[in-house]
Amino acid sequence: MKKTVFLFPGQGSQSVGMCHDFYQEFDFVREIFDMAQEITKINLSKLCFKGPMEELTKTVNLQPAVTAVNLSLLAAIEKENISPDFTAGHSLGEYSALCSSQIISKEDAMRLVFKRGALMHREAEKNKGAMAAIVGLAIDDVRQLVAGVQSGEGAVSVANHNAKTQIVITGSPDQVKQACAMASSKGARAIPLKVSGAWHSELIKGAEEEFTDFLDSVDFKADNNSLVFNVTADFASEPDEIRSIMAQQLCSPVRWYDSMLKLEAQEVELFVEVGPGRVLSGLSKKILPKKYHEKILNINSLKSFENFLKTAHTI
């Protein structure tokens, strides 16, 4: 098989019904959901398959739910004895990537995302936040823009650099609103996002110390330069370094655009989104040259999984 990367989505990719066909088809998927439900005490199968969407999208539920789906689809691939050369995950999805690279176990990934979701929810309850997508400005322009609306009473910063001119900002509602107005005045589109907190911002900094302590309870293994991390858009090998990066990830920007360029530089030939939705596939098509577009695949249903297997066995 050609040089391959598995990409794992995070919050924003969910839908009611996700992974139901895999759950019905495979015992090992049901076992992953059972494990996740034992750790979280949340009926994740009911939330994923029946909703309601309002409950599913609460971050305390959503983080383990999306991770259970990602890990189930990854397990289906692993049963076929297929493994990637590289992995990456967008924000929450990075925990699934850690599993794919065998840096942490599936059980520890579930414990981490459940704790992460609970802490993020707690901080969002304390500090009201907002996020918005800015489309049409380069990263330096957005950084300059948010710097112009910083104040002592609020905060705004870059949350995700998703594509060259697709950037998400995060912070206090008034400051995010001001930044959006400035972006619009410069000809960009500013799109408020339906989120329950200001993720990847100083407003959830109160979760960082407790989450760092929780990370210390998890066994991290060394990596052979297979995972491109959100915080650095680069590889890391030593367990302590990886643990430190994951502690920083909570409040640091997601450097997805730079991460994808890093993977392109590694001469990756097949990009496979493993998880619900098509968010990362869409971003890949915006970032990568057109010659790659036929080699960007999704695995989010049994049909797409079968298509991936056919492709994997013919290239």
Give catalytic residues, as residue numbers: 91, 200
CB 276 within 8 A of CB 10: no
Q: Copy the structure tokens of residue 203.
A: 């407003």
Distances (CA, A) of 62 to 15, 56, 91, 213, 281: 10, 5, 13, 22, 20
Let me know: does 198 contact 129? Beta carbons within 8 Å.
yes
| Angstrom distance (rounded) from CA 38 to CA 98 | 21
Under 8 Å between Cβ of 10 and 89: yes
CA 64, 247, 163, 238 dihedral sign is negative
**Residue 84 three-state SS:** coil
Tokens of 285: 């098509």
Which of 210, 246, 205 is CA-nearest to residue 123? 205
Pairing state between β 189-192 and 130-135? antiparallel
> In angstroms, what CA-CA distances link 198 with 19, 212, 232, 312?
28, 19, 21, 39
Q: State how far the Cα of 110 lies from the Cα of 92, in Å rounded to an integer.
A: 11
